[in-house]
Every structure is written in structure tokens, then in C-alpha cells.
Amino acid sequence: MKALRDYLKKHDLYEEDFDKADAVLFSGFPFQTEYYFKKLFRFKRKNPSKLVIYRRDGPISLIRGKDEVLDKILTLFSSIVADGIIFQTEWSRGKNQKLFGMKSQNEAVIFNAPDNTIFNRKGKAPRKEKIKLIATSWSSHWRKGFKVYQYLDEHLDFSKYEMTFVGNSPVEFKNIIHKEPVDSKKLASIIKEHDLFITASKTDPCSNSLIEALSCGLPAVVYNDGGHPELVGKGGEVFNDNEEALKKIELVAKNYKDYQANLSAFKFERAGKEYVDFIKGIFDSAEKNEYNTKQMTLDRKIKFAYMKARVLAWKLKGILEFLMKKVQGKV
């Protein structure tokens, strides 16, 4: 989002003041800053011809394994105020629509893009005879693929391969080199020292770590879930289990140049233009009377009040659960 803001500023399309903006791009779920809900609702009530665009990932409940209510709240919120939805991958769009009915007359899928001044092929080390694998993750949650990494730590042929993990890990590796989290510039430098990226994270809508590695020139072996297959394209292989992961690593290593020649390009200039073109397209549709911008009618005002009540109920439930754990000595 910071990179997108920089892109908009560069092209003189950014506005900090809500009242002066023609469109507001909303991302994520502000459950620690609920005033954004009210701010966006008031923005649309005051300026019905202006646009609210919702940038959506998730579903949250698939990532967390709980909190379906959050996805239901955000679907309701989107139906009330959003004139368009930008999903980060087709997988994210499909899951949000199938599980929660999130849809809009105006939709687009726009992949994330990294800071190309940092994550690029400049200084990429040539492939070594002993293939160097790398995986990265800020989160230490087991859903980030650590059971697979643990398996690789025990079964990867370390006479042919070397593997590094950068980030926080719940696993104490025996053979995999573990490095602590680093900033983006240092991370890019480390990635470029390696040959092949692997990610085994589950239900990851649009993995930034995968995009960063592909942008640095590394073919990838990815778990067949979330947005991974879309992002890797012909620049790598997908796997479904531990044994297949080993086979796909071997396959990419043997045909390394072919995979590297087919890496997907994630350029922020292109992604930024896609955001702008999407928003301009909605304005054009409204001018042609092909789309009516959201009006804060009575029924939407009632839905908004209901949505706020659901947010409050979810927060109160979380507080009560925390207090119960505290009483039981679990926190």
C-alpha cells in the first residue's frame, strides 16, 4: 500500500484529504480503528457520486482457521459502501464469493507487486552446482509451512542442496540454516544469493514473500494452495505433499534455466496503472449510466447499524474469552 501511495504521488493522483478525494481505496479490516467504517460511511453519504474501492485479500477465516464472523462483516460492509472490489488473486476472489457471497458489479484481480528498487535481479548470483534453496516467513505460525520445512530438514539431500530459512520459526532446524528476520534490503540481498525459492504456506491469498523471490530471479516450488499457483505460473512447480515437494525441487533444479526464463514479472508501474484504470473505468460507467454509485439509502443505513452491532459483539466476545483465559491462568 505504501508503494501504491508512492505511485499515485508520482503521477499526481494522490490526495490525503477525504473531502478532496474523488475515490477512496480501503484495504484490510480496521477492527482496532473502527472509526474508518464510520468515516467511509459518512464519506459516501456526503458524496454519493464519489467512489469507495475495497481492496480484499483473505478470506480471513481460511487464513486464521477461525473468525468467520469477520468475513461476514466485511462482506456486509462491502455491500453497503463499496463501488468496486479489487481482489489480490483469483483464488481470493473465488473463496470470498463462494463462502461469503462477496461480489460487486465492478471487480478486478490485481496481483501485489514489490518495491522494484529493492526486489529485482540486479546483483543476482549465478546458479551454483550445489543448488541453494531459500524460504522466508515473518510469522512463525505452523500454517506458514513449517511441517514441510521440518520434513525437508530431515529428508532433503544436503550433499546436493543447501537450504536457508529467513524469519521466525517454531522449528529448531538441524540442517537448514536459520537466519533471523531482516529488513527488506537485506532480505533481497540474501534471496539473490540463492537459486530456488520454496513456500509451503497454506491459504495464502497473495504471498508477498513469493512475489519478492520471483522478482529477484528465483524459480519457485510452491504448495498447491492459495494464490501460489497463479503467482508462480510457468516459473516453477506446485506440490501437494512432502514427497512431491522433493520431486518438484529435483525437477526445477534439472531444468533451471527453462523455469527462470519463464518467471512472472511483478512490476509496480503496471500494478499501479491497473488500479488507476480500474477506478477510472467505474467513473466512466457511472457517466454512461451503466453503473449507479452507492447511495446511502435507508436500507443501507439500517444495514450499517447492524454491521456496527456485529463488530461490537465480536469485540466483546474476544474480551470475555481473554478474561476467561486469564482467570484460568492460560495467559
HEC-encoded secondary structure of 199-211: ECCCCCCCCHHHH
Residue type present at position 284: D
User: What CATH number corresponds to the domain at position 68?
Assistant: 3.40.50
- Dihedral sign for Cα atoms in the order 29, 31, 33, 39: positive
DSSP code of residue 122? T
Note the pLDDT tens digit of each residue in 115-143: 888 999 999 988 888 999 999 998 988 88
User: What CATH number corresponds to the domain at position 192?
Assistant: 3.40.50.2000
- 18 three-state secondary structure: helix
Please tell me whether residues 61 and 137 are part of one structural domain.
no
> Given 261, 278, 296, which residue is the final one in a domain?
261
Q: What pTM, to 2 d.p., does this model score?
A: 0.89
Please tell me whether residues 180 and 65 are part of one structural domain.
no
Please tell me whether residues 286 and 253 are part of one structural domain.
no
Contacts of 77 (CB under 8 A, 6+ apart): 37, 54, 307
Residue 48 lies inside a defined structural domain of this protein: yes
Please tell me whether residues 212 and 294 are part of one structural domain.
no
142 contacts 296 by C-beta, under 8 angstroms:
no
Query: Average pLDDT of the chain?
Result: 92
Residue 37 lies inside a defined structural domain of this protein: yes
Please tell me whether residues 257 and 276 are part of one structural domain.
no
Residue 192 lies inside a defined structural domain of this protein: yes
Number of structural domains in the chain: 2
Please tell me whether residues 137 and 255 are part of one structural domain.
yes
Residue 227 lies inside a defined structural domain of this protein: yes
Please tell me whether residues 203 and 238 are part of one structural domain.
yes
- Measured in whole angstroms, the distance separating CA 241 from the mean position of its chain's CA atoms is 23
Residue 126 lies inside a defined structural domain of this protein: no
Helix axes 35-46, 298-327, angle to 10 degrees: 180
232 contacts 163 by C-beta, under 8 angstroms:
no
Please tell me whether residues 100 and 220 are part of one structural domain.
no
132 contacts 191 by C-beta, under 8 angstroms:
no
Domain limits at 95? 2-113+269-327
Please tell me whether residues 255 and 288 are part of one structural domain.
no
- 195 three-state secondary structure: coil
Please tell me whether residues 253 and 274 are part of one structural domain.
no
- pLDDT on residue 331: 65
Residues (pLDDT < 50) of the chain are: none
Residue 177 lies inside a defined structural domain of this protein: yes
149 contacts 135 by C-beta, under 8 angstroms:
yes
Please tell me whether residues 305 and 281 are part of one structural domain.
yes
Instruction: Give me the DSSP letters along 268-331.
Output: HHHHHHHHHHHHHHHHHHHHTTSSPPP---HHHHHHHHHHHHHHHHHHHHHHHHHHHHHHTT--
Residue 105 lies inside a defined structural domain of this protein: yes
Please return the burial class of 120, using the count of CB atoms within 10 Å of its CB with bins 0-12, 13-18 and 19+.
middle
Contacts of 87 (CB under 8 A, 6+ apart): 56, 57, 93, 96, 107, 108, 109, 110
